[in-house]
Chains A and B, each alone.
Chain A
Amino acid sequence: MNQTLLDIKELSTRFHTPEGVVRAVDRVTFNIKKGSCLGIVGESGCGKSVTALSIMQLIPSPPGKISNGSIMFENRDLLGLSPNEVRGIRGKEISMIFQEPMTSLNPVYTVGNQIGETYQIHQGLSSKEAREKSIEMLSLVGIPSPQKRVDEYPHQLSGGMRQRVMIAIAMACQPKLLIADEPTTALDVTIQAQILDLMAGLQEKMDMSIMMITHDLGVIAEISDQVVVMYAGQVVEQSSVDELFEYPFHPYTQGLLGSMPKLGDKFLRGKHPLQEISGQVPDLINLPVGCLFASRCPRVEKQCREALPGLTEVSSEHDVRCWLV
């Protein structure tokens, strides 16, 4: 259980645009243990998705480039592998599901064709065997009457169904790591819960690890073991889920938790506005000196504007990037 599956050290990804160099991911370090689920939280543009695409090595290049760091996956550095070796890992050992189930499936093929294709390519099965496997996968991800569904086109399925199909495709080759990039964001809340349950169930059944990217702390609380909070391309806090919700240390994490509406709050405390984090994410091209959160931080001090704090351990496996620790 405590073996490390994926170990990312000092990963930096930059985009070279005409306006300047965008530091989308800046010296990000974290690891995922075998069979556990790591959540990555942060607002739009904080580098969550770019981190995921960097692991898959799907960063469009140019303009993007992984400029620094290492991504160790089972003791192999993915950044040192040849494109062919990377393709051997992608889809087979690490696979990914995307945010928009509505556009993640090819509209001209049946569901069965699309699940089956991975079997035909990666495992060399015949089309008949691949079809049987597809039906098996469909029932595994909880789609009723899979024998019938297998011949349907994506537009005949609802969003939740499509996301299940996406999961089926991603799980087809029994990956060791599943990267889920906001898999529930486009779904309504009841379906969200079903999809999360499904993923948690599959994780246990297949003994895989999940890297869950989301901006929804509710999702994190539901499924993750460990959490990484990202802000402006950097890790600002990481710890276990329980500890993060109990003792959030970084002002940004506190802000995120405070900005979550709580059920029944209105009756307990009367009408009061949701706490917000005022201000804007800094420009990733011209990063300010000092802590990147300083301009929005309610507890900002002089030294915050002068130098960037490092990650400091506040308790075992709980790191915070803040001067106030």
Chain B
Amino acid sequence: MTESEFIQNLHTTAPTWSGIRFLKRMWQFRMGVIGGLFLLSLIIIAVFTAWLAPHNPYTQDVTQSLAPPVWIEGGSSDHLLGTDHLGRDILSRIMYGSRISLVIGFSAVTLQLILGVALGMLAGYYQGWVDSLISFLVDAMLSFPYILLAISLVAVLGASFQNIIIALAISGWTKYARISRIETIKLKEQEFILATHSLAYSSWRIIINHILPNILPTLVVISTVGVARAIISESLLSFLGLGIQPPTPSWGVMLAEGRDFMFMQWWLAAFPGMAIFLAALSINFLGDTLRDLTDPYLRKN
């Protein structure tokens, strides 16, 4: 049997796609499946909040204020997770809050990626003074604590939905720039990039078509963690009063409002806190699994 026939046989004898194999695969990536399902349900909730939420998140009812969750004495099935100090339904507010968290999380990271990857790859590919300039910028940015930079930017720009996204994007792109720069430098030395030069492909094509796809897996993993971080940062900015302004229901705003009632009426802060935690965790699970899936060596196994 020649080498090629042998390899051919390997392929034909490999098990074909079936229900059992599908389930096995799902089990292999169970953490990612859990994370993905949770994130998916969060997205569905965010999109259809207006129909799904049991109450209007802004409606105040002082007679119902500080009602505990349903399983605690004094709780009612009308407010499953209880109400806050103004009598607003906590579950409904968390559901509305998911919109803000997801939109800010994903759009901030998208902007970070565009900015960071573009600058990082330029620095890594051209090196020389382009690299010096961009690396200097990155170092300067990194000498500033991430959240402090975001806080000062919001303070300067003013607290609004768009400005939070812009502030998070500007303060968070450096990580992607560093990673894409170093990965680009590494790949540039590889023979397959040298081979594309020998075929006279343009620099633009080499960067976009040949280097970028090779660094994407790394970026995907890191940027999912970045989404989780952006969601937490938004909550933190809102908690500090620099983000989403009350009465808009953001998880951070709810956390800030619940602070005063932490010891007696813990549900005001605990449930939005849990929402932040679960959202960040599920995104991290998903990110790890995506890494495994995009790895060309693991893909076929």
Contacts and interface: CB of A to CB of B under 8 A. Distances in A.
Contact of A106 (B3, B7, B214): B214
Interface in B64-98: none
Interface residues of B, number: 25
Given A143-B4, A144-B8, A96 B296 contact: no
Nearest to A118: B199
A144 B7 CA distance: 11
Nearest to A143: B4
Nearest to B187: A106
Interface string B204-229: 01000110011000000000000000
Contacts of A104: 191-192, 195
Contact of B213 (A56, A108, A118, A148): A108
A91 B199 contact: yes
B25 interface: no
Interface size class of A (residues with CB under 8 A): 35 or more
B191 A95 contact: no
Interface in A42-86: 56, 58, 86
A103 B3 contact: no
B22 interface: no
Contacts of A160: 3
Contacts of A100: 191
B17 interface: no
B59 to A, nearest CB: 52
A117 to B, nearest CB: 8
A292 B34 CA distance: 69
Q: 7 tightest CB-CB pairs across the interface, nearest first? A: A91-B199, A90-B200, A91-B200, A87-B200, A96-B198, A108-B213, A104-B191
Given A103-B190, A122-B199, A156-B300, 15 more contacts: A88-B200, A95-B198, A98-B194, A98-B195, A100-B191, A104-B195, A105-B195, A106-B213, A108-B296, A117-B201, A118-B199, A144-B4, A153-B296, A156-B7, A161-B4
12 contacts: A58-B197, A91-B199, A91-B200, A98-B194, A103-B190, A104-B191, A107-B214, A108-B296, A143-B4, A153-B300, A155-B300, A158-B7
Interface of A: 56, 58, 86-92, 95-96, 98-100, 103-109, 117-118, 121-122, 143-145, 148, 153, 155-158, 160-161, 166, 169
Interface of B: 3-5, 7-8, 11, 190-192, 194-201, 205, 209-210, 213-214, 296-297, 300
